[in-house]
Amino acid sequence: MNNCAPIIRRSLKREREKFLPGVVLSFTKLMHPPERFGRRPRIVGLIELENGRRVLGALLSDAFIGQSVRPRMRLSHVTAEGLRVYETAYEAAGKAVAPQAFPGYILALTGPSGVGKSTISRMLARAFSEYAASVPILTTREQKPGDEGEYVYTAREEFERLQRTGAIVAATRIPSSSEDRRYGYRAADIEAIWSAGKLPVVVTELHLLEDLARHYGRRAILSFGLLPPGRTKRAKLSQLLHRLRARGRDSEEHIRDRLKNAERDLAFFRERKDLFDHIVVNEDLSSMLDYMRKKVSGLSGA
């Protein structure tokens, strides 16, 4: 119901009225916010604005009672119908927040297993070898025949240690029927590519993409969503199944896992349109590559 256009339109007016500095009267960290706000915990504060009004609003960092906060208008979420919902959130006013230095671009390719991400990234890397380099994926999973140097293997304990120290900027768990795998990106790998004057390319999935956008800022990412052809979900999944079997890399059991994950991914694509600059359908590899080359060239000036 709260997705209806008139409600969203009226809410924008109210959010604008909330755009005032204030003081935190109380706060809480919601471990399970309503679905439309994503899966991450959300901190909501009761704030007394400088005009005396009290409001509820998202807090952008850990808070304490009595903290001074200032407003920031931001995209709250995108509805399934594609409507963008904005909200007034609040950030600590105490510490001067330096305008975040723009570190450089990351090229992200996201899509379900079997959509052709690796092939495309390889072709892009070849075409742009002077400008682009793949970011290795840190993983706790076992090495498999067919892996092509895109992974760096590590033990679970080491992975968790790196996560704690902040050396990993994006991480996800992909449970499968056989094991609990972790995947992530190290800041050092990405920054090394930047310092070499190149464009880091990540072949990734949605949680990692979310983390990267959070860490480096959404505008630092040129984000392509890759979808298999097919009008319905069933048609898309059947395409993926076909491709996964054809490439002969996975056991039938792993293919089942991957398809299950792919089904989740397809739903997530609908919910998180805001994470993508371009959604491309991999109907024909060469025309898709041309399209992407144009977009990337525009960026790198190549």
Q: Between 48 and 263, whose beta carbon lies closer to other proteins?
A: 48
Give min distance, CB of 191 to other proteins, in A.
Answer: 33
Give min distance, CB of 67 to other proteins, in A.
Answer: 12
Q: Between 59 and 203, whose beta carbon lies closer to other proteins?
A: 59
Residue 151: name the closest of 178, 185, 128, 117 by CA.
Answer: 185
Q: What does the binding site for other proteins look like in residue numbers (CB under 8 A)?
A: 2, 10-11, 14-15, 25-35, 37, 42, 44-46, 53-58, 65, 76, 87
Cα–Cα distance measured from residue 243 to residue 238, given in angstroms and rounded to the nearest whole number: 9
- Which CA distances in Å does 210 have to 140, 234, 266, 269? 20, 26, 15, 12
Q: Between 31 and 98, whose beta carbon lies closer to other proteins?
A: 31
Order of strands across the sheet that contains 137-139: 151-153, 137-139, 180-186, 168-175
Give min distance, CB of 248 to other proteins, in A.
Answer: 39
Give min distance, CB of 216 to other proteins, in A.
Answer: 24
Amino acid residing at 247: R
- Which CA distances in Å does 155 have to 141, 178, 183, 283? 8, 17, 11, 38
User: Are the beta carbons of 124 and 222 closer than 8 angstroms?
Assistant: no
Q: What angle do CA 56, 40, 77 make, to 5 degrees?
A: 65
Q: Between 17 and 283, whose beta carbon lies closer to other proteins?
A: 17
Q: Between 5 and 56, whose beta carbon lies closer to other proteins?
A: 56
Give min distance, CB of 161 to other proteins, in A.
Answer: 24
Q: Between 76 and 113, whose beta carbon lies closer to other proteins?
A: 76
- Other CB atoms within a 10 A radius of the CB of residue 217 amount to 13
Per DSSP, helices labelled H in the chain are: 5-17, 117-127, 156-165, 187-195, 206-216, 233-247, 252-271, 285-300
Give min distance, CB of 58 to other proteins, in A.
Answer: 6
